[in-house]
Structure 1
């Protein structure tokens, strides 16, 4: 099995900048971020500059949320100026993950014209069709679907491509063809990532959440239509791309299927709170940065009890027949499933479902 690490100093750090904390301008019913106790403040340029000075390795940056554009154009300009000063020696990539509601001509001028040298990539959260997207509503409880579609069209006018992150809920399971049709209709779509809704309440799947096997079967049905329609010639869909890569012995850049996991991604909040991948609660995996380099601070955090639990999850995969395909999956999902043996077992079953499908595309 390829060596899988929670963190390695040999790869760039991926900074997930929660520049507006977990503040957001919409009210998704399933949002994990809004339940966190972190600050709703705004990240300062001084804080970001200081943080970058404590990093020895190269980094990629994602402006994330909550909703990152809530900080406003002036504050974002200040942050991008700091990033620009370190590009491309230290900062090697810049991305924005947004719900798309606030994107305007003014934002486009800032992100893609004033800072054209940063080659900023953008991805928008859209769960799919209006029906699939029904859990993503504004503060008045109204649909965000049409506004997001308008944002794709606005970006397209400027020849700007955008990705799509879709949360797959129970609303998604029966509208496969409609979802593919939507993807085909967005001219400037660059990639798609299918994220399962695995929220728990009282140690059981919460309302609108789906089981790992249901998610796997959804992915398979999407893959069949995706391949049949040759949509792969236009866009990549994760995890389908990684499934085909891994079954053919290739390297995947998607963390679920890669050798480097949760602490390669560092979530940064305006109040100075740092943690690993934002699928975790930072409070459970706190990274303390004083005068140490961030790299040393991450290594210290890996000695915590909860980090040892993640290492145990990795160790539990050693004897698995599909370990080189699955690569231990998403550790945050498995971590929160640990107290529910049925969900933990179903998670592994879901990976075997995906493996059996991918075998048919072995070259």
Structure 2
């Protein structure tokens, strides 16, 4: 342990929290090969009961909340149940910002109507990795492409004048196509923000493989401690991001949509804050996950039971949960990861990265590569900003 420590920042009693609501647990109408939710243990609960959500809101005590309807596929919760849930949220005495993250294959005009009536300010996030070639890890239970249905949903959103955020999981297929992926996304008028999320599936194994996906998935499963066949390494991700950044800037697409992680890197290089936890000091303690059986966890990427903090009906307050005192092993582990950042010249711009990913990589050959890949992209963007500044001065 060094003299100086970089312990996990714990939220104060009135600070905003993010809460991921696992409306239907791991239930989903499609079978993405890299789905981390389907690796978690579930106890047979179908849907998040409203009394568990009501308890969460009561414990929150009016503090600002950023709630995300998530899954699995959250639209499987059903329109009637979703309507009841939104009405419950309307009674909360504090500020709530609400989003839904969907695979969009079930989005219909009726769903758009429901959101417009019950919560018109909802942020709609859609998961789509890219064009059909890049999106081929997002399939149904017979290995059939889901791309066309998502494209239809994005066109419906555009027709209604809605702005949509897109998450692209950078798999092996996507990593080979940064320019094509960006150009493809630019073809959807509804998309105003894009986030590249790396598929660092290291040493993971799904609980089960549906019969209809076995022929394709089995050869891609990791053998021992290695990345799955659909996954990428940290240095592959930084190489992808460098090309993506150059195309985003050089083609003028930066005027068309925001792009993470670039937007956050630019902000922190300018000395400004970002809400993206990979570059902010507000990390796992600021994120809670509520599961259908009442379990409350930290960031949903930490998994269960590693990230478990208790059950919503037994916890006396959310402050107890966010302090991580109910899971001291997790707290100590996260502090240890952050302690590595002490003395690093990139500490203020990097922010320590994703602690869940670093925890998976700990004691592996990729642990140092994780830091290196973040340095590479920060340096690349900083150099571009410096060149632009010099050019503008002359």
TM-score (norm: length of structure 2): 0.87
Cα distance in 2, alignment partners of residues 2 and 259 from structure 1:
14
Aligned positions of 1:303-322 closer than 5 A: 304-322=328-346
1:76–1:260 Cα change, 3 Å: same
Query: Are the counterparts in 1 of residues 171 and 230 from structure 2 also a CA contact under 8 Å?
Result: yes
Alignment partner of 1:287: what SS? Answer: strand
Cα distance in 1, alignment partners of residues 136 and 144 from structure 2:
9
Q: Establish whether residue 8 from structure 1 lines up as the match of residue 11 from structure 2.
A: yes
Residue of structure 1 equivalent to 2:190: 188
Q: Establish whether residue 228 from structure 1 lines up as the match of residue 250 from structure 2.
A: yes
Aligned positions of 1:187-206 closer than 5 A: 187-201=189-203, 202-206=224-228
Give CA-to-partner distance per residue, 1:283-309, whole Å, 9 cap, x none. 112112425111223224365112211
Q: Establish whether residue 358 from structure 1 lines up as the match of residue 378 from structure 2.
A: no
Query: Are the counterparts in 1 of residues 67 and 99 from structure 2 also a CA contact under 8 Å?
Result: yes
Cα distance in 2, alignment partners of residues 2 and 191 from structure 1:
35
Shift of residue 6, structure 1, vs aligned partner: 4.3
Alignment partner of 2:299: what SS? Answer: coil
Cα distance in 2, alignment partners of residues 2 and 156 from structure 1:
48
Residue of structure 2 equivalent to 1:55: 60
Gaps of 5+ in 2: 204-223, 390-394
Shift of residue 158, structure 1, vs aligned partner: 1.1
Gaps of 5+ in 1: none
Number of aligned positions between the proteins: 358
Residue of structure 2 equivalent to 1:161: 163
Residue of structure 1 equivalent to 2:177: 175
Aligned positions of 1:239-250 closer than 5 A: 239-250=261-272
Give CA-to-partner distance per residue, 1:21-76, whole Å, 9 cap, x none. 11111001111110100245101222211221011322111000111000110111
Alignment partner of 1:200: what SS? Answer: coil
Alignment partner of 1:142: what SS? Answer: coil
Query: Are the counterparts in 2 of residues 83 and 91 from structure 1 also a CA contact under 8 Å?
Result: no
Cα distance in 2, alignment partners of residues 302 and 287 from structure 1:
6
- Out of 313, 324, 328, the residue aligned to residue 348 of structure 2 is 324
Cα distance in 2, alignment partners of residues 296 and 345 from structure 1:
33
State which structure, 1 or 2, has the greater radius of gyration over its C-alpha atoms. 2
Shift of residue 282, structure 1, vs aligned partner: 2.8
Aligned positions of 1:86-125 closer than 5 A: 86=92, 89-116=93-120, 119-125=121-127
Query: Are the counterparts in 1 of residues 23 and 77 from structure 2 also a CA contact under 8 Å?
Result: yes
TM-score (norm: length of structure 1): 0.94
In the TM superposition, structure 1's runs of 4+ consecutive aligned residues that sit over 2 Å from their partners are 1-7, 113-116, 300-303
Cα distance in 1, alignment partners of residues 303 and 225 from structure 2:
16
